[in-house]
């Protein structure tokens, strides 16, 4: 059961990372949790949408 | 004469406070006690949610806020993790990176010279500290009518923390962590 739960959490993290990479809308809740915008809305959570902005690329 | 941005532009100060109160109400604003007059927000976030690390952060305005120039990662709002301290995490990661890449020089040439991806160092108080590179400065808005707020910078920082934790956990590769696509 725990293993399934951990797999689900890891899959969700990968989906979030992919969403960030591809520029899909992602929000940050008041506790700082990073969420997909659609999921957050479905769960009634509010948050600030992460603005466009890539991490500085190392030279 | 108004010397600091929050004195010369009280509307901007009010907008900054309103944005933080709306999106991150647990954060508190204060002034550094180092004579610089710089304002900062402090509070905790947990970007990975339940089970993830809790990060105690300082969001420190530079006195030229809003401002961003090339090489000024994160613009005029610096993000300093107080706990965990990036320098401590980097010190734990560096031996692993040196082992992976066959020495410090090779790790540094890959972009891991400080032990973590997308960070920079600067003196802060009596210590040298490591700060989060929240975004390439070209994304930091510093116009007269629209500027990047501390709330936006904090959302970038939460994104960085999530990716950093995933990298430390081995969930994303070194190449992905270093590339400029996030």
* Interval B138-153: pLDDT, tens: 777 777 777 788 999 9
Q: B40 touching A, CB under 8 A?
A: no
Mutate to test the interface with A, among B47, B111, B157 (most CBs of A within 10 A): B47
| Residues in contact with B6: Cβ distance below 8 Å, sequence separation at least 6, in sequence order | B12, B13, B16, B39, B61
Which is more confident, B171 or B39?
Answer: B39
CB–CB contact B182 A57 (8 Å): no
Q: How confident is the model at residue B92 (pLDDT cuts 50, 70, 90)?
A: very high
User: Taking the model in full, what pTM does it have?
Assistant: 0.91
The interface pTM score, or ipTM, of the predicted complex is 0.89
Give the gap in angstroms from C-alpha B171 to the nearest C-alpha of chain A.
8
Name chain A contacts of B168, Cβ cutoff 8 Å: none
Separation between Cα atoms, residue A27 and residue A54, nearest integer Å: 15
CB–CB contact A51 B25 (8 Å): no
Structure tokens at A49: 């949408």
Question: Residues B155, A51: contact at Cβ < 8 Å?
Answer: yes
Give the 3-state secondary structure of residue B18. helix
Name chain A contacts of B47, Cβ cutoff 8 Å: 28, 32-34
């Amino acid at each position: 059961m725990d293993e399934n739960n951990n797999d689900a959490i890891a899959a969700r993290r990968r989906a979030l990372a992919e969403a960030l990479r591809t520029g899909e809308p992602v929000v940050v809740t008041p506790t700082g949790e990073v969420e997909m915008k659609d999921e957050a809305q479905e769960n009634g959570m509010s948050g600030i949408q992460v603005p466009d902005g890539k991490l500085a690329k190392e030279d | 004469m108004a010397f600091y941005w929050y004195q010369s532009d009280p509307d901007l100060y009010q907008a900054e406070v309103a944005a933080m109160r709306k999106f991150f109400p647990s954060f508190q604003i204060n002034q550094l006690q180092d004579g610089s007059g710089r304002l900062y927000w402090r509070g905790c976030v947990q970007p990975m949610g339940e089970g993830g690390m809790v990060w105690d952060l300082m969001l420190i305005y530079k006195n030229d806020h809003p401002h961003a120039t090339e090489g000024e990662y994160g613009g005029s709002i610096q993000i300093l993790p107080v706990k965990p301290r990036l320098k401590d995490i980097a010190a734990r990661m560096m031996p692993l990176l040196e082992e992976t890449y066959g020495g410090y020089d090779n790790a540094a040439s890959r972009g891991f010279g400080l032990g973590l991806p997308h960070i920079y160092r600067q003196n802060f108080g009596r210590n040298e500290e490591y700060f989060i590179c929240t975004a390439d400065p070209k994304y930091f808005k510093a116009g007269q009518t629209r500027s990047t707020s501390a709330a936006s910078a904090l959302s970038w920082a939460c994104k960085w923390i999530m990716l950093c934790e995933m990298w430390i956990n081995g969930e994303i590769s070194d190449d992905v962590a270093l590339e400029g696509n996030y």
